[in-house]
Amino acid sequence: GKWYISGRDNTQQKKVRAELEQLSLVANNMVNGVAITNAANEIIWINPSFTKITGFNSDDVGNMSLSQLLKGDYKDPAILAKTNRLLKTRKSFEIDLQINKRDGSLLWVSIVNSVILDSNGLVDKHIKIIIDIADRKKAESDLNILSFAARKSPSGIIIRDKQANVVWMNEAFEKITGYTLSEMKNQAFGTLLLGADSDLSVFDKAKNLAEKNKPYEVEIKIYRKDKTPIWVLLSNSPMFNDAGD
């Protein structure tokens, strides 16, 4: 009798599977979400953190692209065109956008796309890292609102670093004192605003409280840049970082 044997070389397939297993092993323990896509940009694997952040699990992805799955800002033709253009460069990139989680709610994320090329220089896979930046975006939004309010406030507002050097001042502070931000940035006012009739005991009291990182509120006569005297109410509130500094 005769034996007929047919088969095919699956060496490359085994290699691809082994590489994917290695990537998965590392990505499984990452805090950030990870999605691995094939050359056609279709999702072939996600880590547990991807599910934790977006709500989508492996059964949901079904060879979809990230834009098809997460929608959100991807529905904007301009943003979709931008990401597609970046993908065609075959270079790594990062983009911040809002996505729709599985429950439909919006979430700000930063997506870092890294490209893996094959031996011929063609795209083999994309590694996409999804970082939850909701807290950062909220802080930016709060800061923008605060900055706008401070800029438009009729009261003079100044922000100083821990060495008492000027970081920022609003227009009202410039009008009250006659000094501009460009003149005073990274410098300390010190005794610059004091004059002949300024109460030095009040100034020293405020200075001592500031050095102890304590708030204060004092009334004192100061002198503008043109040496015009004016009475002002100075209120100082220290701000601390997470380390208490």
Residues 6+ apart with CB under 8 A from 18: none
SS3 213: coil
AA letter at 127: I
Please give the chain's pLDDT, 245 residues, in tens: 555 544 455 555 566 566 666 666 666 778 899 999 999 999 999 999 999 999 999 999 988 999 999 999 999 999 999 999 999 998 999 999 999 999 999 999 999 999 988 888 889 889 999 999 999 998 888 778 777 778 888 889 888 888 889 988 899 999 999 999 999 999 888 889 999 999 999 999 999 998 898 999 999 999 999 999 999 999 998 887 777 77
CB burial class (10 A; 0-12, 13-18, 19+) of residue 125? buried
- For residue 62, give the nearest of 88, 35, 84 by alpha carbon: 35
The pairs formed by 199-202 with CB atoms below 8 angstroms and a separation of 24 or more are none
- Residue 63 is classified by DSSP as T
